[in-house]
Amino acid sequence: MIRSLSLAALAALVVSTAIPAEAQNTQNSYRPTGTRIISQQEEADPDYSRRLLKETAACVNRYDSSGVVGLLRGGNQAALDYAAGGIRNEDRNSPLKISECLHEALNGAQLVVHMRIPPAALRTVLAEQAYLNRHTAPLTIAPGSPQVLEGRIVIGGDTAEESQARGIFADCLVFNAPVEADRLLRGPVGGGTELDNARALMPAISQCLNDGQAANFSPNAIRDFVADGLWARSEALAGASAAQ
Mean pLDDT along residues 206-234: 89
Which run of H or E residues covers position 25? strand 21-25
pTM passes above 0.75 = yes
pLDDT tens figures, 158-198: 888 889 999 999 999 999 999 999 999 999 999 999 999 99
The answer to whether 46 and 218 have CB atoms below 8 angstroms apart is no
Q: Which amino acid is at 22?
A: E
C-alpha count within 13 angstroms, C-beta hemisphere, residue 65: 8
